[in-house]
Amino acid sequence: MQTESKIRADSGTEPGPRVPGCSLRHFACEQNLLSRPDGSASFLQGDTSVLAGVYGPAEVKISKEIFNKATLEVILRPKTGLPGVAEKSRERLIRNTCEAVVLGALHPRTSITVVLQVVSDAGSLCGCVWPCVGQITSQMGEEEHCEPTSQMGDNGGSVAEEARAVLTFALDSVERKLLMSTTKGLYSDTELQQCLAAAQTASTHVFRFYRESLQRRYSKS
Amino acid sequence: MKETPLSNCERRFLLRAIEEKKRLDGRQTYDYRNIKISFGTDYGCCIVELGKTRVLGQVSCELVSPKLNRATEGILFFNLELSQMAAPAFEPGRQSDLLVKLNRLLERCLRNSKCIDTESLCVVAGEKVWQIRVDLHLLNHDGNIIDAASIAAIVALCHFRRPDVSVQGDEVTLYTLEERDPVPLSIHHMPICVSFAFFQQGTYLLVDPSEREERVMDGLLVIAMNKHREICTIQSSGGIMLLKDQVLRCSKIAGVKVVEITELIQKALENDQKVRKEGGKFGFAESMANQRITAFKMEKAPIDTSDVEEKAEEIISEAEPPSEVFLNLLSVSKPVLWTPGTAQIGEGIENSWGHLEDSEKEDEDEGGSDEATILDGMKMDTGVEVSNIGSQDAPIVLSDSEEEEMIILEPDKNPKKIRTQTISATQVKAPSKKPVKKRKKKRAAN
């Protein structure tokens, strides 16, 4: 499962060591809300919300077929305007991480398409897409989960634009190892390690959320 | 993905049921499915659910120069997108017919009916006007896209607030959301599309067809009306021939339906406005049903990051210090110009392919890469990754084959060492003259 946590210092705008007492914003998810896709999930964190739908394993075009595993395709659509380069690069990022996690070898010569729609964006978009993807892949029965957590380096506000650096990590649910990291901005290596350690701490909450939401969903079946 | 074809027995079943005035979901002939409207946190964002068909609408605005022949009017732009999650058959290249049809219908319904006052969008005549952009995304296709899309569009437009502008002489001041409250758009009336599906050459009619019913229908009649019973757009497609009184009857039904839907929209808009004014919580998170088993919420959770700094210190101190290689790489990162058009930055690693026969050599890219920039600002615990562009170290032997171009510089006498991250210092070679060679071989027999 993937989640994003944003560290938000509660006070102060001066640079320096991060103020203890950061918190994860409130999040909510809903699964299986669309009738056409094979799996769907909606994830909300604070004011940011992403809707994801997955189709698969399904027929794949011969040109895109891979003989020993599933072809994973990720499509991310922004809310306004046409999709551009930023969306393409995010799609690539998500696809690479998902390929590592999804057990594609169980479905060779098929295609798995993940479609993400940005419903509202208040800053923590990068991390919001992950829980969606995680939850829908869990609906498809994939075993391993991974989780992205995002850290804000040294910022006083809760808005991503004010931060000096934004670091997003995807962590694996089993051993909290690092699967993916993407960063924007300037930071020192100490800060990187601090952010990573904080992300690992935050990930426990997120995984707990995942586990509880799935337990709730499968409690009646 | 290809669309699953509809089986003959399913088609027969649906048609027989319609003949007996029965619908799959138990509705009556003139019944609409449940309409649910929810708003997001920003103005102009809404999700409309017509049964299971779901459309997301977002309105945005921008100051632009007006069109030349309409210098005092704002610009309206509508865009309906059939997202790939709405149906497996919606692929980027494949949906053009349906997409064009829906977009044109939406435009005629909203633009040509003049429901939005475009004169009020003018800021400075001939120079600056507002461009209002309505983006609609179909999230789930369960039939009757056009109705859901038209409701979403008009709801989003009514919900939207544009920033306030004031003009003093030549100066135009655009106020941000914090300075002055945003201003709603000026909307004259609310056109809503109502769809009628015809079966058996116009004998049977259904309002608000679902996806299965759309598949077996003969033709579709769409009437866009407002609550004052004014027809804004009417379109009949599918090649069915309708009688005059059939069309009149449909317009009467549409009138009744539109009044109901408009009431629903007004109520939803008022509720949202009330909640926002009172300072309550609004947005999609609140409209999510709590009691559903598939929905789950978690409140704000504090994270204990007090030991983060100690952990980080530990990791950094345990990690190997950057070796001198790293520092030396930084120093050799300046490009060295050999001849015009030939330069070298850093050095590559030793050619690990062993001694190659010359006739096997293809075009090679020479030049090392600048490892220093990759590592800028970050230190990794794992070894320094070195780019693996090979470099020449073997003496060059002319082969018998005809060459088109060949440039040979002094071959390298000293073999290069591979750079690795080691704790002990490694010898760093000064960049030696590296032969840069490009050979194009005529591939006679391939």
Task: Identify all chain A residues contacting B316, using CB atoms and an 8 Å cutoff.
Answer: 189-190, 193
- Decide if A44 and B285 are in contact by the 8 Å CB cutoff: yes
Q: Is the pLDDT of residue A142 over 60?
A: no
Whole-number mean pLDDT of chain A? 74
pLDDT tens-digit readout, B260-314: 999 999 999 999 999 988 887 777 777 776 677 777 777 766 666 666 667 767 7
B139 in contact with chain A, both atoms CB, cutoff 8 A: yes
Confirm whether B160 is domain-assigned. Answer: yes
Selecting from A40, A77, A189 the residue whose C-beta is nearest the C-beta of B137 gives A77
Band of residue B102 on the pLDDT scale cut at 50, 70, 90: very high
Distance from the B426 Cα atom to the nearest Cα atom in chain A, whole angstroms: 24
Preceding omega of A57 cis (within 30 degrees of 0) = yes
Chain B interface, mutation test: which of A40, A64, A118, A120, most B Cβ atoms within 10 Å? Answer: A120
Question: B183's torsion region: left (phi>0), alpha (psi -120 to 50) or beta?
Answer: beta
Q: Is residue B376 less than 8 Å (CB to CB) from chain A?
A: no
CA distance A81 to B59: 11
Of A120, A194, A220, the CB nearest to B41: A120
Q: Please tell me whether residue A96 adopts helix, strand or coil conformation.
A: helix
Beta strand extents in B163-300 (DSSP E only): 165-168, 171-174, 183-184, 192-199, 204-207, 219-225, 231-237, 295-298
Whether A205 and chain B come into contact, CB under 8 Å, resolves to: yes
pLDDT at residue A129, rounded to an integer: 60
pLDDT of B375 higher than 70: no
Cβ-Cβ pairs closer than 8 A, A with B, add up to: 174
Q: At residue B406, does pLDDT exceed 60? A: yes
So what's the pLDDT on residue B157?
95
* CA distances for B12 relative to A126, B77, B373, angstroms: 48, 42, 68
* Assigned domain for B442 exists: no
CATH class of A27-149+165-219: alpha beta
Does position A145 have pLDDT exceeding 80, yes or no?
A: no
Contact list in A for residue B137 (CB cut-off 8 A) is 77, 79, 117
What range does the domain containing B49 cover?
A: 33-283
| Cα of A73 vs its chain's centroid, Å | 15
Question: Which of A41-45, A153-157, B224-228 is predicted least confidently?
Answer: A153-157
Confidence of residue B328 (pLDDT cuts 50, 70, 90): low
Tokens in use for B130?
């507002």
Task: Show residues of chain B in contact with A111, CB under 8 Å.
Answer: 1
Within a domain: residue B427? Answer: no
CATH code for the domain in which residue B218 is found: 3.30.230.70
Give the pLDDT score at A144: 43
CA distance to partner chain B, nearest, from residue A76 (Å): 10
Complete DSSP assignment for B303-328: E--TTHHHHHHHHHHHSPPPPHHHHH
Q: Does A7 touch chain B (CB under 8 A)?
A: yes
Residue B363 counted as domain residue: no
Selection from A154-168, B269-283, B381-395 with the highest mean pLDDT: B269-283
At B155-197, the pLDDT tens digits run 999 999 999 988 888 888 888 888 888 999 999 999 999 999 9
- Domain membership of residue B396 (yes or no) is no
Q: Is A201 on the interface with B (CB under 8 A)?
A: yes
pLDDT at B86 over 70: yes
A44 and B47 within 8 Å at the Cβ level: the answer is: no
Which residue in A has a C-alpha nearest to residue B55's C-alpha? A119
Nearest residue of chain B to residue A195 (CA atoms): B308
Contact flag A33-B294 (C-beta cutoff 8 Å) = yes
Question: Would you state the pLDDT for residue B213?
Answer: 93
Domain assignment present for residue B144? The answer is yes
- Three-state DSSP class for A162? helix
Chain B residues with CB under 8 Å of A185 CB are none
Residue B431 has pLDDT above 50, yes or no: no
ipTM, interface predicted TM-score of the complex? 0.82
Q: Which residues fall within 8 angstroms of residue A215, CB to CB, at 6 or more apart?
A: none
Confidence label for A177 from pLDDT (cuts 50, 70 and 90)? confident
Q: Has residue B446 got a pLDDT over 80?
A: no
Report which of B30, B34, B33 is spatially closest to residue B204, judged by C-alpha positions. B30
Using CB atoms, pick whichever of A30, A81, A119 lies closest to residue B56.
A119
Q: How confident is the model at residue B325 (pLDDT cuts 50, 70, 90)?
A: low
Residue A3: C-alpha distances to residues A130, A199, B117 (Å): 6, 10, 44
Any B CB within 8 A of A36 CB: yes
**Contact call for B303 and A209, based on CB within 8 A:** no
Decide which of B66 and A17 is more confident: B66
- The closest CB to that of A79, out of B135, B306, B313, belongs to B135
Does B142 contact A120 at a Cβ distance shorter than 8 Å?
Answer: no
- In tens, the pLDDT along A75-117 reads 999 998 889 999 999 999 989 988 888 888 888 999 999 999 9
For residue B72, is it within any domain?
Answer: yes
Query: Is the pLDDT at B330 greater than 70, yes or no?
Result: no
In this prediction, residue A57 has a pLDDT band, given cuts at 50, 70 and 90, of confident
Identity of the residue in A58, A117, A196 whose CB atom sits nearest the CB atom of B85: A117
Its pTM stands at 0.75
How many CA atoms lie within 13 Å of B237's alpha carbon, on the beta-carbon side? 12
* Cα Rg of chain A (Å, integer): 17
Any chain A CB within 8 A of the CB of B292?
yes
Are the Cβ atoms of A53 and B85 closer than 8 angstroms? yes
Lowest mean pLDDT among A184-198, B73-87, B420-434: B420-434
Calpha distance A22→B31 (Å, rounded):
52
In the predicted structure, residue B129 carries a pLDDT above the cut 70: yes
Option in A79, A122, A197 nearest B58 (CB): A79
- Whole-angstrom distance, CA of residue B252 vs CA of residue B32: 15
pLDDT reading at B128 higher than 50: yes
**Number of separate domains in chain B:** 1
Q: Do B302 and A219 touch (CB under 8 A)?
A: no
pLDDT at A137: 57
- Evaluate whether A39 touches A32 at the Cβ level (below 8 Å): yes
Q: Please provide the average confidence, as pLDDT, over all residues in chain B.
A: 79
Distance of alpha carbon A35 from alpha carbon A55, whole angstroms: 12
